[in-house]
Structure 1
Amino acid sequence: MSTLEIKDLHVSIETEQGVKEILKGVTLTVKTGETHAIMGPNGSGKSTLASTIAGHPRYTVTSGSITLDGEDVLAMSVDERARAGLFLAMQYPVEVPGVTMTNFLRTAKTAIDGNAPAIRSWTKEVKEAMAQLRIDADFAQRNVNEGFSGGEKKRVEILQLELFKPKFAILDETDSGLDVDALKVVSEGVNRAHAAGNMGTLLITHYTRILRYIKPEFVHVFVDGKIAEQGGPELADRLEEEGYDRYLAGAGTAVQA
């Protein structure tokens, strides 16, 4: 079992108005085999947490720590974090012109594992994963995300998740922009990856609809850069009925995520 531990994390960004604190003391522990849902209104700091774990240079950690099995994640480069077993499914996947899906996936898998996968078995694995995610086989020869729809980009994120087999997956609003059918397909992919690799999942979302398909054991409500409340799946059910108004009443001005 592996453990991703976040302790009293404070994170700031540089804005035109000066330095702005986004995360204001977040403490959270995720173990492999667990699914944690991070919920909250716009601007509460959810995506900032995801980007900070992944190592986005825009975000400055002013205090606190992130460790993976006791190793200092904040001391690692982005590629070292990936090799250590961290994976971020981005809220807005970027296009990579000139790099085909086939080359990208095999190159990334080689970098993460330290050795190249055998061509025959790898090709079979990629084809099977694409079929399960209902990604047309022709996409393998297209440039990464270039000309893809929003839903297609999200499916490709989960394709990477299934192929790279990380210890921990941070899914940053993977459900945004998906219709019901695409949401089911993407959720099934996450569940397969979770079951196959005993993966820990940190699922960031505004809405409870994805939680009908990906069942969390733990739910954490983010408001104004802090965890305002945490509990089990029943907390998500309550949020479905009540929304976030009762948290926002005393939260003051929302931060930018």
Structure 2
Amino acid sequence: MSTLEIRDLHVSVETKEGPKPILRGVDLTLESGKTHAIMGPNGSGKSTLAYSLAGHPKYQITQGTVTLDGEDLLEMSVDERARAGLFLAMQYPVEVPGVSVSNFLRTAKTAIDGDAPALRHWVKDVKVAMENLRMDKAFAERSVNEGFSGGEKKRHEILQMELLKPKFAVLDETDSGLDVDALRVVSEGVNRVKENTDAGFLLITHYTRILRYITPDFVHVFVDGRIAEEGGPELADRLEAEGYDRYLTGAASA
């Protein structure tokens, strides 16, 4: 059992006008095997939370703590956070020209585990994972994300997650830009990891459509850098029907 604990997290981002507060006191506890969905309107701070956990230098932690199994995550470098078991599937995966997917994946696995995987088993694992995600084997020799469609980039993110086997995966709007077939394949990949490991998930999304395939244990409504309401899967259904207006009205009044 692993635990990712976020307490009173405040985060600012530097702008031309100076530091701008984005997160305003986030409290959240994730445990192994549980899926937390964070939903909210644009600009509410959902992606800021994701990148702050991963250690993006653009975001400055001004208050609060984040621990992973009791260890101070905020004191770790980005690579140390990955080795500790944190994974981020990015909303906009970047291209890495000149680095093949196969080399990238094996190098990442070696860095995470501390030892290079046995080649024979590794090749088999990659092949099976790619087949499950319906990725052509030719992708293994292409440069990372270069010329990939939106759906191909998102499948590659899930491929990384399946092979690296993190303790906690933060999925930042993995459903954005996906057609229904790609959404189903990506969701199946997430569910496969959940079934075969003890991973916990923080699923960030605007819409409920991905939650038709990935059932969350908890739903958190994110508004103005805070969690405005929490509940079970039924809360997502209510958001689908009612939207975020009542939360936005309350935030504006405050």
TM-superposed deviation, 1:252: 2.5
Mapped to 2, the partners of 1:173 and 1:136 lie a distance apart of 24
- Match in the other structure for 1:88: 88
**Could you give the per-residue CA deviations for residues 152-176 of structure 1, whole angstroms, max 9, x where no partner exists?**
0000000000000000000000000
TM-superposed deviation, 1:251: 1.4
Mapped to 2, the partners of 1:238 and 1:45 lie a distance apart of 21
TM-superposed deviation, 1:120: 0.6
TM-superposed deviation, 1:205: 0.1
TM-superposed deviation, 1:198: 1.2
- Match in the other structure for 1:58: 58
Q: Secondary structure at the match of 2:44?
A: coil
Q: Secondary structure at the match of 1:4?
A: strand
Mapped to 1, the partners of 2:161 and 2:82 lie a distance apart of 11
- Match in the other structure for 2:36: 36
What residue identity is the alignment partner of 2:199? Answer: M
Mapped to 1, the partners of 2:195 and 2:252 lie a distance apart of 40
What residue identity is the alignment partner of 1:81? Answer: R
Using the size of structure 2 for normalisation, the TM-score is: 0.99
What residue identity is the alignment partner of 1:91? Answer: Q
Q: Secondary structure at the match of 2:250?
A: coil
- Percent of aligned positions with the same letter in both sequences? 76
- Match in the other structure for 2:69: 69
**5+ unaligned residues in a row in structure 2: which ranges?**
none
TM-superposed deviation, 1:180: 0.4
Within 5 A, what are the aligned runs for 1:93-104? 93-104=93-104
TM-superposed deviation, 1:250: 2.1
Matched, 1:201 2:201: yes
Mapped to 2, the partners of 1:94 and 1:196 lie a distance apart of 28
- Match in the other structure for 1:247: 247
Mapped to 1, the partners of 2:5 and 2:84 lie a distance apart of 14
- Match in the other structure for 1:188: 188
Mapped to 1, the partners of 2:129 and 2:242 lie a distance apart of 38
What residue identity is the alignment partner of 2:182? Answer: A
- Match in the other structure for 1:14: 14
TM-superposed deviation, 1:17: 1.4
- Match in the other structure for 1:4: 4
**Could you give the per-residue CA deviations for residues 21-80 of structure 1, whole angstroms, max 9, x where no partner exists?**
000000000000100000000000000000000000000000000000110000000000
Matched, 1:151 2:151: yes
Mapped to 1, the partners of 2:13 and 2:178 lie a distance apart of 30
Mapped to 1, the partners of 2:103 and 2:146 lie a distance apart of 14
Q: Secondary structure at the match of 1:250?
A: helix
Within 5 A, what are the aligned runs for 1:78-227? 78-227=78-227
Q: Secondary structure at the match of 1:51?
A: helix
Mapped to 1, the partners of 2:102 and 2:177 lie a distance apart of 25
Q: Secondary structure at the match of 1:249?
A: helix
CA RMSD across the alignment? 0.8
TM-superposed deviation, 1:18: 1.1
What residue identity is the alignment partner of 1:179? Answer: D
TM-superposed deviation, 1:199: 0.6
Mapped to 1, the partners of 2:57 and 2:38 lie a distance apart of 22
What residue identity is the alignment partner of 1:123? Answer: V
**5+ unaligned residues in a row in structure 1: which ranges?**
none
What residue identity is the alignment partner of 2:176? Answer: S
TM-superposed deviation, 1:3: 0.1
Q: Secondary structure at the match of 2:188?
A: helix
Using the size of structure 1 for normalisation, the TM-score is: 0.98
**Divergent runs of 4+, >3 A:** none
What residue identity is the alignment partner of 1:110? Answer: T
